[in-house]
A and B are shown apart, each in its own frame.
Chain A
């Protein structure tokens, strides 16, 4: 049995845990409060088939899929903008160069950095968050699941 999607998400959690100065890393949980910050949340993302989904082949045909997990980092700090940018940089370095992730996506796959989205709480001083967007392409082979 091999579920590359789950393996990628589990590895992401492990990598986010190693981001310098990150206090809390959670998956399957969106509840947070000040005492947890800086906190990172790894959430399962959408998955789309990008190759092999034509109808002329058996339903258990191999496919190539892309998954975009949600990684949010929430922080409260006097230097909120700089801190979030630093977290983004450190996470990018970890994800894009990680041998395990590159092995999981394989030669038919890819890891792409898509960008990041920031948001700040205007009425909550020094609170902010950034969603860092990656896209993972990998084989989905139903016979191996």
Chain B
């Protein structure tokens, strides 16, 4: 990886999102994902000194750590809609997939992003998540735009490492033997 400062470290992210449901055996490509965002949620307790005329912050304690990922998918498939609808895919009728909304209230698995960008280092991410419906799904729209599914998921703490997701930054400048 180039040592900073180096323009090769600038990054415009692109990647492939895939998912493996808990108990599954392999990751399934979710198709085109226009965005994938990770957001830590931190709660803190601040301490202020009262030894001076002006109250000054002298200590900050982090009391809660959590994280969410929010991503959009624009391939409207049964699997992708099932995350949004918290539903099990019912494929018993040939040619159709039936989703019964909000019945699968515990929908967990591993989500993975593989960085594919040409500009900047490729950054991968993997975490265990639990889906939480967010946003809306447009069955009908008067806007000439592709429909997207917005999905939010709570990142689960890894039982072994204690981490909320794992990043891997690839160094393309290193030639592996």
Query: A81 at interface (Cβ–Cβ under 8 A)?
Result: no
Q: Which of B7, B8, B12, B116 contacts A64 (CB 8 A)?
A: B12
- Measured between beta carbons, the chain A residues less than 8 angstroms from B120 are 62
Contact with B along A46-63 (1 / 0, CB 8 A): 000001100001101110
- Measured between beta carbons, the chain A residues less than 8 angstroms from B10 are 52, 57, 61-62
Given contacts A107-B117, A107-B118, A108-B119, contact A60 B7 (CB under 8 A): yes
**Interface size of B as a range:** 10 to 19
Query: B20 at interface (Cβ–Cβ under 8 A)?
Result: no
- Measured between beta carbons, the chain B residues less than 8 angstroms from A143 are 7-8
Q: Is the interface of B mostly helix, strand, loop or mixed?
A: loop
Q: Which of A57, A60, A64 contacts B119 (CB 8 A)?
A: A64
Contact yes or no, A51 B7, CB < 8 A = no
Query: A139 at interface (Cβ–Cβ under 8 A)?
Result: yes
Q: Is the interface of A mostly helix, strand, loop or mixed?
A: loop
- Measured between beta carbons, the chain B residues less than 8 angstroms from A61 are 7, 10
- Measured between beta carbons, the chain A residues less than 8 angstroms from B7 are 57-58, 60-62, 143
Smallest Cβ distance from A134 to chain B, in angstroms? Answer: 20
Q: Give chain B's interface residues, CB within 8 Å of chain A.
A: 5, 7-8, 10, 12, 14, 116-120
Q: Give chain A's interface residues, CB within 8 Å of chain B.
A: 51-52, 57-58, 60-62, 64, 106-109, 139, 141, 143
26 A-B pairs whose Cβ atoms sit less than 8 Å apart in the complex: A51-B12, A52-B12, A57-B7, A58-B7, A60-B7, A61-B7, A61-B10, A62-B7, A62-B8, A62-B12, A62-B119, A62-B120, A106-B118, A107-B14, A107-B116, A107-B118, A108-B12, A108-B14, A108-B117, A108-B118, A108-B119, A109-B118, A139-B118, A139-B119, A143-B7, A143-B8
